[in-house]
Structure 1
Amino acid sequence: MKNKQQLVWGVILLGAIAILIGYSIWLFMFAKSAETVISNQGYYNSGMMGGRVNSNQSSSNEKLTPDQVLADVENYLKVYGNNLEVADIFVFTDADYYVSVEEKDTGRGAMELLVNPYTGQVYPEPGPNMMWNEKYSMMMGDSLRYNANATYTANVNRTEAVKIADDFVKSQFGETFSVPGDGHAFYGYYTFHIEENDKVIGMLSVNDRTGEVWSHDWHGELEQVISEH
């Protein structure tokens, strides 16, 4: 009986080793295949924040120009067809470029992107763009997929959202701050400019169903805002 048990356990052990070896070989081949696809397509994988590395990468420590960034973003948007265009570019001294994108046919905001100022890497902005966007939601798996048939009813209109945002910045930052209403209505939320003494210094978003406010506090000092149209 003891020898029989040893034989059974030996067979189980050999089977486990065979499965482990087979899995290791599959994992290696899968990784090599993924590496090849990524290399050929010009992508790199960074989980949910994965983005595309574009051709305008700087070979020095100089930042890419807004025109180069615009070209990189336009190239990135090709996967969505030809109905998207850049609306605004925010240039920061110590952070990635911020780019708002809108639909040509409706004028409605589609998505918000960040661009590495040295490599030209484009990737979806975190926060409302990923969590509240009901049409071009990056939470659906990757930036190549979107819900083209998204429908919903906003509970908070633009005027109400501006008031909510303005009250928020005054209560959080002081009476010299305001939200005049400049910005974009996206699918599921609004993003507005924050001003201090009539100068744009940042932005925040308001959920168009709940009225929740989400300040974009990850950008840094704003140098300029470039409106494309």
Structure 2
Amino acid sequence: MLLSVTAWAQMGQMGSAQGGPGDMMGCRALWSLGFPQAPTPLTIDQAVTATQQYLILLGNPDLVAAKVIDFTNHFEVIVNEKSSGAGAFSLLIDRFSTGAVCFEPGPNMMWNTKYRMGWGHMQGPPWSWWPGVPTTQMPVTPEQAKQLAQSFLNAYLPGTTVGTDIDTFYGFYDLYVLKDGQIVGMMSVNGYTSTIWYYTWHGPFVEMKKL
């Protein structure tokens, strides 16, 4: 039986890097990672470099950049655990060197049961739906998450489909929305409550680089 769908469509923006190289929401100014303070556009490879520098400062050698997605509004980076291969968290990187690297808002901060918050605060508090131990083995399976996501798309974005790739994090899944075989969006499914989050802040898809 298909789990019930609760859908959220949210908008947000990256935290500001003003006032210092880092902040409580996990942002780190690109200039503090060695990038010029002049407004220079970043390439996808430079986004990888920015992520690597950011992860060094976090001080956790088990974290590695796994995938960079180039959207018109910013780069999104999926960070995995080396030891487990599971998704740890996602980052957003401004397209210009005067911007910042930040923890992505939304499910990445709200539903992530292991790496919930940003700079220096990477352990999430309990929720009523969370049993208390971070795990990627959740009541909602990857296949059920795809079914839930497709039900949402059928109702609200007919003509789109869920892609075959799925990124599993502690507490939720990330999925890709396709139209005519091309990525046109992203969404998340909570692995405990089946709640759906559709992302509205990325802008059109440009390219993806798996690392």
The 10-residue stretch of structure 1 (80-89 or 70-79) with the greater mean CA deviation from structure 2: 80-89
Q: Which has the higher contact order (CA 8 A, sep 6+)?
A: 2
**What pairs with 1:138-177 in structure 2 (closer than 5 Å)?**
138=117, 142-147=118-123, 150-152=133-135, 154-174=138-158, 176-177=159-160
Does the alignment pair 1:206 with 2:189? yes
Match of 1:85 in 2: 64
Name the CA distance, whole Å, in 1 between partners of 2:37 and 2:143. 42
Q: After TM superposition, give the deviation of residue 105 of structure 1 in Å.
A: 1.2
2:50 is equivalent to residue 50 of structure 1: no
- Structure 2 length-normalised TM: 0.78
Normalized per residue, which structure has more strand? 2
Cα distance in 2 for partners of 1:217, 1:166 equals: 17
How much does 1:74 deviate? 0.7
Question: One-letter code of the match for 2:93?
Answer: V
How far apart in 2 are the matches of 1:205 and 1:181?
Answer: 14
Structure 1 partner of 2:91: 113
Displacement of 1:126: 0.6
Structure number with the higher helix fraction is 1
In the alignment, the residues of structure 2 paired with residue 181 and residue 110 of structure 1 have an alpha-carbon distance, to the nearest angstrom, of: 20
Kindly state the Cα deviation for residue 150 of structure 1 after the two structures are TM-superposed: 4.3
Pick closer, same or farther for the CA change 1:49–1:147 going to 2, 3 Å: closer
CA distance in 2, matches of 1:150, 1:137: 13
Structure ID, larger Rg? 1
Q: Shift of the alpha carbon at 1:50? A: 3.3
TM-score by length of 1: 0.73
Gaps of 5+ in 2: 1-18, 125-131
1:125 counterpart residue number: 104
SS in 2 for 1:182: strand
* Consecutive unaligned residues in structure 1, runs of 5 or more: 1-34
* 1:220 paired residue number: 203
Match of 2:16 in 1: none
